[in-house]
Amino acid sequence: MELKIFLTADVHLGMKFAQYPEVQKELSEARFETLKGLVERANAEGCGLFLVAGDLFDRVSVPKETIVRAAAILGEFQGELTAVLPGNHDFHATGSDSLWAEFGSRSGDRTLVLAEKRPYPLRPLQPRRRPLPRALRGKALGAKRSGMGSGAPGGAFHVGVAHGSLMGSPPTSTSAITP
Ligand SMILES: [Mn+2]
């Protein structure tokens, strides 16, 4: 049984780089190219889950075009599921005009925004193109298996995902507070 996960974080799409006006556009564009390259690598590696562990976006007020482009790039992932955790820069807020509502509306049904602190079962996310691998059936992102109604035989994968510093493990520099 195997679950191959591609993990990234802090892509910070939409970063303005205002302090570098002469290369501002190139630096901003490079973030999109990087994400594209990551998705291509994940596809080449045959990953089943593409996981973004926070700060896919640089801030909650990124332009709509940035959100559309991000959703399109992630939509090229050929695995079973893309899961995106909001971070401290692109935190989750309710409201139909919020970043994540817009992102959700631009993403397919195999993209999951981990907006709440709870386990997310993978079962409802049935693949469109091919059967869910045995490794992913009845599995969940998050903590305990109980309450998920999994019923899957054998062991289960539990994938914890977080963004930020660990409690009780103080950062050694300010960059560790807002990486
Ligand atoms: Mn961050």
More confident residue, 47 or 170: 47
Domain total in the chain: 1
State the CB neighbour count (10 A cutoff) for residue 65.
Answer: 9
Q: How far is the CA of 151 from the centre of ligand 1 (A)?
A: 36
Q: How far is the CA of 172 from the centre of ligand 1 (A)?
A: 16
Task: Give the pLDDT of residue 123.
Answer: 56
Sheet containing strand 81-85, strands side by side: 5-8, 49-53, 81-85, 111-113
Q: What is the pLDDT of residues 49-104, one digit of tens each?
A: 999 999 999 999 999 999 999 999 999 999 999 999 999 999 998 877 799 999 99
Q: 119: domain range?
A: 5-178
With a cut of 70, say whether residue 33 has pLDDT above it.
yes
CA distances for 36 relative to 13, 69, 99, 122, 141, angstroms? 12, 10, 20, 24, 24
Is 122 in contact with 105 (CB distance < 8 Å)? no
Q: How far is the CA of 88 from the centre of ligand 1 (A)?
A: 5
Q: How far is the CA of 87 from the centre of ligand 1 (A)?
A: 5
The model carries a pTM of: 0.77
Which secondary-structure segment (H or E) carries 50?
Answer: strand 49-53
Q: How far is the CA of 35 from the centre of ligand 1 (A)?
A: 16
CATH number at residue 105: 3.90.190
Q: How far is the CA of 34 from the centre of ligand 1 (A)?
A: 17
Q: What is the pLDDT of residues 113-150, one digit of tens each?
A: 999 999 987 754 444 444 455 555 555 454 333 333 34
Task: Give the pLDDT of residue 144.
Answer: 36
Is 80 in contact with 133 (CB distance < 8 Å)? yes
Q: Say which DSSP state 57 is in.
A: B
Q: How far is the CA of 58 from the centre of ligand 1 (A)?
A: 9
The stretch 9-38 carries a mean pLDDT of 96
Which tokens is 145 given?
């298996």
What residues sit around ligand 1, an ion, with C-beta below 5 angstroms?
Answer: 55, 87-88, 179
Task: Give the pLDDT of residue 151.
Answer: 37
* Mean pLDDT across the chain: 81
Is 133 in contact with 48 (CB distance < 8 Å)? yes
